[in-house]
Amino acid sequence: MMKKLSRLLLIGAFAMFVLASTMGGHIPITHNHNNSICWGYAQGRAFGKDDDDEECPASETWANAIDENYFPFTASSTLSGLQVGDIVVWAENGVRAGLQGHAAYVTAINGSGFSNISVRQVPWEGGSPENKNVAQVVTQQGSNPVGYHRGGTQTVVLTFKNSFNGGTMYVGKDKFGEWIEVYTQPSASKSYAPYSQLQFKAITPQWYGGYKWIFQGWSNGPATLEQTINVPSNDQTYTANFLAEYHVIAQNQFGSCVSGNPGTIKVGGTNRSSPYDEIVMQYNSTTLEAIDQTYNGVEYDFTQWSDGNTSRQRTVQPNGNVTLTANFTVDRPKPMSDYNLHVSSSAGQYISFAWNQHPDANVKYQVWRREKPAGGSLGPPVLLTTLNNNVTTWTDYDYLMTSGYTDDLVEYDIRSHYSCGGVTKSAYENYITVFGDGGIIPKAASADEASQNPKQYGLSAHPNPFNPATTISYQLVEDAMISLAIFDMNGKLVRSLVESEKSAGHYSIRWNGANDAEQKAASGLYVYRLIATPVNGGQTFRASGKLLLTK
């Protein structure tokens, strides 16, 4: 090895040179990367390593001599039979090792004579690689070469891949002992010297193609992530086997009138809040079950899954991420008995009801009534009015409660009624019989008035002006469909008092100065209007008057 501390200037034009293909792993000879020296550099190149190879850079490879197990020596001062890839060596006192002698790697041969043989070398220990020809190196060394070591060692190709044909893995370590990450899309191949040592490692988890991949084991090895092998003598492929995590999102859909996907759904035998994200490993399965349920005070029945499957319970083996929606239809709203419906009046007062607001804003309240007069039979149900969702009280001004029992009975049903998106459903009928400590009596005119039918239609109100309430009286000469309502001076409906069929007779009803939402109306002028349409097809009677609600 040349011991000069200064470098010689490059002389003349360099011949073309050829680089050996890069080989993976560390070279299979005793070496380190603490310094540079001609012996280590020449062997690194002969093993297929570039100057700056990530794992085993030739420019930083230190070795004490050429290993003849890999590179047999041929003595020849004329370098007869020399080939590209061989190592030309010089000797000092017959020694070709350590600081005695020198080695240079042959990169090109462009003719006969030392000046036509291109080499690349580290000129001295700690030096940097340089390009020369053999004649120049003879001048540096002060002597002719003594022969050459045959290069071109056998290599094998190792291929690394992940089973999902993408992603990355670690193959080899750099000179600092850090893993080298390579892309395997779909695979990565590299040449290695047989019997050299190599480390590689699977990376888990990995995200590729929209999925999370979990390592399971090697196709030709154990399940441990990291492997250390002696490179075999033939080409091999090492596959890291993975399984994908698939997301099965199970959810409910209660129709277009319910936002989101709320409720409960059974996944894997357990009730879960919808939507629920179940992770299912590739080739595995899970079970889903749609549950008839009540949401927000409305009962829903299962119809089918979003993929057309009508089985309530099903097994799903996904082949990718999938969302499965259980579709439902409205059965009916929960009855108002579930929301504290009760009679709120006492004897001597108009019959009143109160309840808690139904939680679904699409539910209104139908007020039904059927009557059984003393000595008579129970009449048909009559829909008196429909109240908005935010109304929680209602008063029947046709009847007063009494403290004693009579044979006159009235039954009421404050019935929850769902209407949205073309779906209209009501709760089952559930009538309440109002006794009020013994029953009810109709609030009518005097007995003499009640004993005979009026001879003409009539409409009046007393007191007027009024505060807080007034009683509106009307009389019918024949059976008629009645509409009695209060309007403001702009013609806007304030309160609907009667919308039902009435027999000929005298009637009165109290208006408490509130609107249909039971909100107190502002003081001022109002119009009360009666429309009576005879059921036998006679001429319709219309009448109206003004009311003054005072402060």
pLDDT mean values, one per 10 residues, the chain (551 residues)? 33 24 69 90 89 88 90 94 93 88 92 94 94 96 94 82 95 87 89 82 96 94 87 91 98 96 97 98 98 98 98 98 98 97 85 96 96 77 94 87 64 96 95 59 40 79 88 92 94 94 90 91 94 92 92 79
Q: Which residue has the tokens 């462009």?
A: 110
CA 417 to chain centre: 35
pLDDT for 487 equals 96
DSSP string for 126-182: TPPPEEEEHHHHHHHHTS---EEE------EEEEEEETTS-SEEEEEE-TTS-EEEE
> Structure tokens of 470?
């007034």
Identify the three-state secondary structure at position 408: coil
What residues form DSSP beta bridges with 202?
A: 169
pTM exceeds cut of 0.85? no
Contact 432, 405 (CB under 8 A): no
Q: 36: which DSSP letter?
A: -
Quote the CA–CA distance of 200 and 231 in Å, as a whole number. 12
| Beta strands 147-149; 423-426: pairing state | unpaired
Determine how β-strand 458-462 pairs with β-strand 470-476: antiparallel
- When the candidates are 3.90.380.10, 1.10.3470.10, 3.50.50.60, 2.60.40.10, the CATH number that belongs to 336-442 is 2.60.40.10
Residue 254 phi, psi (nearest 5): -95, 20
Three-state SS across 211-247? EEEEEEEECCCCCCCEEEEECCCCCEEEEEEEEEEEE
Helix (H) or strand (E) segment spanning residue 42: helix 38-46
Q: How many CA atoms lie within 13 A of 424 on its CB side?
A: 3
Residue 242 and residue 213 in contact, taking contact as beta carbons nearer than 8 Å = yes
Range list for CATH 2.60.40.10 in the chain: 336-442
Which residues does 9 contact at the CB level (< 8 Å), separation at least 6?
Answer: none
Q: How long, in residues, is the chain?
A: 551
Q: What pLDDT score does 340 carry? A: 96
- What integer pLDDT is reported at residue 297 of this predicted model? 98
Give dist(CA 532, CA 187) in Å, integer.
89
Q: What DSSP designation does 450 have?
A: H
Q: Which residue has the tokens 């091999």?
A: 236
- Quick count: other Cβ atoms within 10 Å of Cβ 288? 23
Reduced to 3 states (helix: H, G, I; strand: E, B; else coil), residue 487 is strand
pLDDT of residue 453: 75
- pLDDT for 7: 27
Q: What is the pLDDT of residue 1?
A: 53
For the structural domain made of 447-549, what CATH number should be given?
A: 2.60.40.4070
Q: Which residue has the tokens 């009730």?
A: 271
CATH 2.60.40.4070-classified regions of the chain: 447-549
Return the C-alpha torsion angle 92, 94, 100, 106, nearest 10: 90
Cβ atoms 477, 453 nearer than 8 A: yes
> What does the CA dihedral 297, 301, 302, 303 come to, rounded to 10 degrees?
-130
Please report the pLDDT score of residue 302 as a whole number. 98
- What's the rounded Cα separation, in Å, for the pair 281 and 200? 25
pLDDT score, position 435: 56
Contact between 356 and 365 under an 8 Å Cβ cutoff? The reply is no
Q: For residues 425 and 415, give the distance between their C-alpha atoms in angstroms, rounded to a whole number.
A: 11
The phi and psi torsions of 394 (rounded to 5 degrees) equal -155, 140
